[in-house]
Structure 1
Amino acid sequence: MIFRSCAGGVVFHDDKVFIMQNDKSEWVLPKGKIRDGFLASETAIERVKEEAGLDVEIISTAGETSYEFYSFSRQKPVCNEITWFIMESKDMNFFINEDYGILDAGFYSIDEAIDMITYSQDKSLVSLSYRKFLKLKEKEAILV
């Protein structure tokens, strides 16, 4: 089995979250493989920028997920282990990067996004991250 370390972002703008539709028509969050010499946080920010053109700031860690699939090109099973970060985008200006196989994307209300997201662990990740995001924003407002 091939093990790959990846990183990604759960990107919020106010009460909306950013999700993308990949070339398999799955609704997912932006993520990518961590390259040698890069930190998970750097990879997550870079992938959000490359896949969606969003400038983001990391607010907190969100947790980790993993999944396995069979790679027909490598003729081996692959396990992706993903470190997630809660991110905030200052605006909702994004683009769809077709070079990464993105078919559609956008900022959606939390409930709408959870209905659209393909995988249950991503649905849970968005729900938990949003609660944490709101608590962190509340604390930030108190400190200002």
Structure 2
Amino acid sequence: MMEEVSAGGVVIFGNTILLLKKFNGDWVLPKGRVEKDETLKETALREVLEESGVKAEAVKYIGMVHYKYKNLKENEMVYKTVHWYLMKTNSMDCTPQKKEGFVDAVFVHIDKAKNLVRYQDEKNIIIKGLKML
């Protein structure tokens, strides 16, 4: 089984959270793979910037999530760990990264964001992160 480690952010601006919309219509939090010689926090901040154009600052570590998925190209199961950080930004300017597969990047009201995100583990991370504010 392959292993993959990623990091991402729950980015807060006022009472809104940054969400990205994928080409297939799913709303997700920004995240991506850890690169060589990068800390988890550096990865999370870089991925937020790359995927949304948002410059954020990491405030607290929220926690990690584990799940398995099938890599169809390699026909192999992947055991993935995602580390999440609570982040703040002072600007709502964002640009979705089309080449990463995102059609929209928006700050959504906290209450609405919890219902919009596609995956239960991301909902849980949002709820956990908000309790840390």
TM-score range, shorter chain: over 0.9
The one-letter code matched in structure 1 to 2:2 is I
Can you give the 5+ residue segments of structure 2 that lack an aligned partner in the other structure?
A: none
CA contact (8 A) 2:2 2:76 kept: yes
SS of match in other structure, 1:129: helix
Can you give the 5+ residue segments of structure 1 that lack an aligned partner in the other structure?
A: 134-144
Q: Deviations over 1:62-113 (max 9, x none)?
A: 1001221111111101121011100001110000110100022210111111
Counterpart-to-counterpart distance in 2, 1:115 and 1:7: 22
Q: Comparing both structures, which one devotes a greater share of its residues to strand?
A: 2
**Larger Rg over CA atoms:** 1
Residue 84 of structure 1: aligned partner: 84
Where does 1:65-144 land on structure 2 (aligned, <5 Å)? 65-133=65-133
RMSD between aligned residues: 1.0
Deviation, 1:23, is 3.0
Structure 1 pair 31–95 and aligned structure 2 pair: CA distance change class (3 A): same
Number of equivalent positions: 133
Scaled by the length of structure 2, what TM-score is found?
A: 0.96
Shift >2 Å, 4+ stretches: none
Where does 1:16-95 land on structure 2 (aligned, <5 Å)? 16-95=16-95
The one-letter code matched in structure 1 to 2:22 is N
Q: Comparing both structures, which one devotes a greater share of its residues to helix?
A: 1
CA contact (8 A) 1:59 1:88 kept: yes
CA contact (8 A) 1:53 1:95 kept: yes
The one-letter code matched in structure 1 to 2:94 is F
The one-letter code matched in structure 1 to 2:44 is A
CA contact (8 A) 2:95 2:104 kept: no
The one-letter code matched in structure 2 to 1:2 is M
Deviation, 1:12, is 0.2
